[in-house]
């Protein structure tokens, strides 16, 4: 135990001295405009850095045909020809637990650049923050992974378990980057993802999928309106009933780790388009919906429940019972998941958070999906989200990350790596 404290203290001291390096690395990564399909340059940069750190680096362009065979494949992509994946393996000396450090390099588009007070790709460092698109979500977190590991090496420690340093594309568009890591065969005993979770220990996330509802009506001229059936009226009916469904599911599928969220499994009718002439009864309506799922259910269960509900409410309407809405599940799908709060990896992260910050860790869930779900669903590996920055700052103009929070996260990650993988001092 004395030994542990000394090693962690040494590593944390090195991290304290790496503050500029941490900010600088974040800034450098922000300067890559790595939006959808533009991930090559940053992945090359990362692969080079991992190689210099001593990793065996796997840099590859996932084969879409191979990917399609996996049950988790859901994407509108036709190839990954400009979206490579990276996995740097640091082999341990043996007899330790292995850990995946995962982070995504893709970022959402900057939106209207006029809303930014500086270039979205500036990577500027001012006010103890690093600024720019992706700083919070999640190049800041990715930098923590790097500096944590580099500090361990600099302290002259050797890990017993393997570290798999994964940087993935496509997290913002469906998680095919992480799925590609799984398809590639990478496995470990646990996963840490420094997503922007305010340094909370997030061990439950909701699932979600997109679904398109095509609601049939019957067109008619207004002089003969009674002969028609308004697809907009039927959509309003469905909309109101989906609100009831959402309320009922909020109760029935409540998860203790999501009790702080008002509507965790939101059913969001995001788009609607119906009719083409003000003077005709609209004959079709199309709604696109983001459907949230509880960690208490699987994607398949949740989808079946949605389909059953549409069936039930259609039965209750004189028109819809004979003219069923068409249900199509679209591209993306995030898997709900949760980890036992008493799992050793959860306890380690929480304890190290308390030791580093002096405050009890908040162990909770989050009402959004991330790459952790795929590890839980397809490999049954516990994947914890723990990282600096907050979601309300990501995806916005003038995105930034606080360097102090990154420093805390880096120390917690480094300490957790030591505890989980085990280590020895270099001779």
**Does position 208 bind its own copies by CB under 8 A?**
yes
Partners of 288 in the beta sheet? Answer: 212, 271
Q: Is the dihedral of CA 232, 234, 237, 242 positive or negative?
A: negative
Stretch that binds its own copies, among 2-10, 68-76, 260-268, 412-420 (CB under 8 A): 260-268
- The smaller minimum CB distance to its own copies, of residues 160 and 212, is found at 212
Contact pick of 194, 292, 387, 388 for its own copies (by CB under 8 A): 292
- The smaller minimum CB distance to its own copies, of residues 280 and 379, is found at 280
E runs forming strands in 207-358: 207-216, 220-221, 267-274, 280-281, 284-293, 326-334, 337-338
**Does position 338 bind its own copies by CB under 8 A?**
no
**Does position 258 bind its own copies by CB under 8 A?**
no
Instruction: Name the minimum Å distance from CB 23 to its own copies.
Output: 26
Distances from the Cα of 233 to the Cαs of 177, 217, 221, 281, 342, in angstroms?
Answer: 41, 9, 16, 10, 50
- The smaller minimum CB distance to its own copies, of residues 75 and 415, is found at 75
What are φ and ψ of residue 102, in 5° steps? -115, 145
What are φ and ψ of residue 57, in 5° steps? -105, 130
**Does position 89 bind its own copies by CB under 8 A?**
no
Q: Which of 214, 137, 206, 38 is nearest to 401 (CA)?
A: 137
Site map 363..402 versus its own copies, x via CB under 8 A: ---xxx----------------------xx--x-------
Instruction: Name the minimum Å distance from CB 120 to its own copies.
Output: 17
DSSP string, 71-131: TT-----S--TT--EEEEEE--SSSS--EEEEEE--------GGG-SS-TT---EETTEEE
**Does position 276 bind its own copies by CB under 8 A?**
yes
**Does position 239 bind its own copies by CB under 8 A?**
yes
Q: How far apart are CA 74 and CA 173, in angstroms?
A: 10
Q: Which residues contact 251 (CB under 8 A, 6 or more apart)?
A: none
Distances from the Cα of 341 to the Cαs of 181, 203, 248, 364, in angstroms?
Answer: 26, 7, 26, 9
Q: How far apart are CA 342 and CA 349, in angstroms?
A: 11
Told to judge if 106 belongs to the known catalytic residues of this protein, a careful annotator would answer yes
- The smaller minimum CB distance to its own copies, of residues 220 and 254, is found at 220
According to CB under 8 A, which residues from 24 to 63 bind its own copies? none
Find the catalytic residue in 171, 195, 402, 419: 171
- The smaller minimum CB distance to its own copies, of residues 65 and 226, is found at 226
**Does position 221 bind its own copies by CB under 8 A?**
yes
Find the catalytic residue in 39, 40, 58, 106: 106
Q: How far apart are CA 285 and CA 216, in angstroms?
A: 7
Contact pick of 115, 127, 156, 222 for its own copies (by CB under 8 A): 222
Both tokens of 181, joined, read 């890591």
**Does position 126 bind its own copies by CB under 8 A?**
no
Told to judge if 308 belongs to the known catalytic residues of this protein, a careful annotator would answer no
Which positions lie near its own copies, rule CB under 8 A? 208, 210-211, 221-227, 230, 232-233, 235-236, 239-240, 243, 262-263, 266, 268-282, 285, 288-290, 292, 330, 366-368, 391-392, 395
């Amino acid at each position: 135990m004395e030994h542990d404290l000394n090693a962690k203290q040494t590593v944390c001291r090195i991290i304290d001295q790496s503050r500029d390096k941490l900010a600088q690395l974040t800034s450098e990564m922000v300067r890559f405009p790595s939006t959808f399909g533009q991930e090559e340059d940053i992945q090359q940069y990362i692969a080079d850095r991992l190689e210099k750190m001593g990793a065996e680096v796997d840099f590859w362009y996932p084969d879409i045909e191979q990917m399609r065979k996996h049950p988790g494949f859901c994407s509108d992509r036709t190839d990954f020809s400009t979206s490579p994946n990276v996995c740097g393996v640091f082999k341990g000396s043996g007899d330790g637990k292995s850990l995946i450090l995962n982070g995504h390099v893709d970022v959402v588009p900057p939106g209207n650049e006029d809303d930014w007070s500086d270039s979205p790709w500036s990577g500027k460092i001012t006010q103890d923050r690093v600024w720019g698109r992706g700083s919070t979500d999640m190049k800041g977190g990715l930098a923590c992974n790097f500096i944590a590991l580099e500090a361990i090496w600099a302290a002259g420690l050797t890990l017993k378990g393997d570290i798999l340093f994964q940087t993935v594309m496509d997290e913002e568009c469906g998680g095919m980057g992480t799925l590609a890591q799984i398809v590639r065969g990478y496995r470990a005993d646990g996963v840490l993802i420094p997503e922007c979770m305010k340094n909370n220990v997030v061990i439950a996330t909701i699932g979600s999928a997109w679904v398109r509802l095509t609601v049939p009506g019957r067109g008619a001229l207004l002089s003969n309106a009674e002969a028609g059936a308004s697809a907009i009226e039927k959509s309003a009916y469905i909309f109101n009933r989906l609100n009831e469904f959402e309320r009922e599911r909020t109760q029935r599928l409540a998860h203790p780790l999501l009790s702080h969220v008002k509507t965790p499994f939101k059913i969001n009718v995001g788009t609607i388009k119906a009719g083409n002439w003000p003077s005709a009864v609209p004959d079709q309506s199309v709604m696109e919906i983001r459907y949230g799922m509880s960690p208490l259910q699987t994607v398949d269960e949740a989808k079946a429940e949605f389909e059953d509900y549409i069936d039930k409410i259609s039965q209750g309407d004189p028109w819809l019972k004979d003219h069923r809405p068409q249900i199509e599940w679209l591209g993306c799908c995030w898997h709900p998941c949760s980890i036992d709060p008493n799992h050793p990896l959860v306890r380690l992260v929480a304890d190290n958070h308390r030791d580093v910050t002096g405050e009890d860790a908040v162990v909770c869930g989050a009402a959004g999906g991330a790459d952790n779900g795929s590890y839980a669903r397809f490999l049954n590996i516990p994947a914890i989200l723990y990282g600096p920055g907050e979601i309300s700052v990501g995806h916005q103009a003038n995105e930034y990350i606080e360097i102090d929070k990154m420093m805390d996260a880096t120390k917690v990650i480094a300490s957790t790596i030591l505890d989980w993988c085990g280590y020895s001092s270099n001779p």
